[in-house]
Structure 1
Amino acid sequence: MSQFITLLQRYHQQLELHYGGLLTQDIRRAITDMLHCKSDPTRYTQWHCGHCQHDQQLLASCGNRSCPQCLHQTTSNWLAKQTDKLLPVHYFMVTFTLPYEFRILARKHPKTLYQLMFKVTSNLLKDFASREDKGSLGFTSVLHTHNRKRELHPHLHIIIPCGRYDAGKQQWHKGDNHYLFNAFSLAKVWRARMLDAINHAIELTLPNEIPKKWVVDCRKVGFGLSSLQYLSRYLYRGVLPDKDIINITDENVTFRYKEGKTDIIKTRELPVLKFLWLILQHVLPKGLQRVRDYGFLRGNAKQLRLKISLLLGVIVGKVYKQQKVMKHAVCICPFCQYEMHFLGVNRLRN
């Protein structure tokens, strides 16, 4: 069992007493799911082996996207699908970060605020591209809510292929491998549009202090694969893997992280309850889609991507070795090592 869930089982009542006022309905739902994940004897999955006729029951997973024990296959599937979309061009990563002063909004109204972040950044990038009149962009936006120390730090990573597709002329315009957009101009417009969007949102209120300069980072990231691999690590497996929790006592938890600027491994020690809250504050609202594809990278643009790849002289999915996408959970028979058939989830009745 996950070390985080073990701690949650032991301290969840104390957590409620100390942080009850901050626990949203979504966080409480995630806690309930994780407390029952692979530990509820009344809920199990049924499997059958067609080769040796062995039947097997396994305790059911909760399937919550914040659970560190679940959705590992979902992460692999997402990376496989994104890898199959890669084009033989250079890629850029643009990162839009909300200033520290807006963290209170992220805690109180995460769904509204994060939706605005997606809307503002996507329109901003499309508008910057339209000024150059070379066709439309394709890009993938991924929401991260934490920094390396796991503090609340909302930001969007956006992966953009270097090039544009002109639908009218059915042409691919090769981009500059060393330049996408001016980061300072992006930051200036990002600040203005985000403030305007928050002003017009009914449930949001601007903080008293607003920094004049916001941060947008725009950099080359090679041919895209390494960046997709990095982004996939925090999508569906919780925000802190078990391997990074290096010491647990009755009072404190110590975990390690890599400092961004120096790549030095550092440690952070926190009281148990504060550690649990540190992780749980990143539970996303129900229904919020944290990964979104735009332009020729959207899900229903497969034929368009095929056309672009032909213009580039390659076949979609052949830039890198095509990854296998698992459409269902897999269980291997302990006796004959054949893949078993999933029969469903059952619940025992008293």
Structure 2
Amino acid sequence: MPSRLLHASRRALRLFRRLFLEGLQKAFDGASCDSFRHWNGCTIPSHSGAIWIPPARSTGWSMPSHHSRALNGVLEYVGRYTHRVAIANNRIVDIEDGKVRFQWKDYRNENRQKLMTLEAGEFIRRFLVHVLPEGFQRIRYYGFMGNRYRKQKLARCRELLGMRQSDTPVKPKEGPDYRDKVEELTGVSLRECPFCRQGQMVCIEVLAPARGIRR
């Protein structure tokens, strides 16, 4: 499994390199390139694209691995961003006077917890940096776990393993359902009408989400 992960990472990195350099080439060739030729007090020659881009295409790019020296460390580092948001609610200490105070971990100083205060606008900007653009996904499944042919390939895997194919749906476990659990924890019954407190709630119809509305 680690070799497959590394192979997928290298393939994604090659794709990123190609798209990045194509965009950079368009920037050099287009009219907007004038804004690049005078940056930070430096004058960039107009033919710089022809000098810089070809070597970048032939040079192998690599992901930064200074956070760890082993694959397990890489997985731990990447795992922080796959199933979590940019910042958990419990790290936000205070929001007052248009400023946000939150905890952060200084990995360069023995992982010590520290406090940082930012203006609300700057905090939102940094948060949105971690939001993926439209069309990107945090996790993509490949091989027999790919969504497109997963059902057929899983059936083939069972066949190769000598497992019995079964199309019968799995019966739900008998016992209390979520409504019983909610009533046990909160004392509020989801079966009882919240207005008259006498009638029983009955599911008549489940409404499908409207088209064009994203969750």
- TM-score normalised by the shorter chain: which range applies? 0.3 to 0.5
RCO higher in structure (CA 8 A, sep ≥6): 1
| Structure with more strand by fraction | 1
Larger radius of gyration: 2
As a proportion of its length, which structure holds more helix?
2
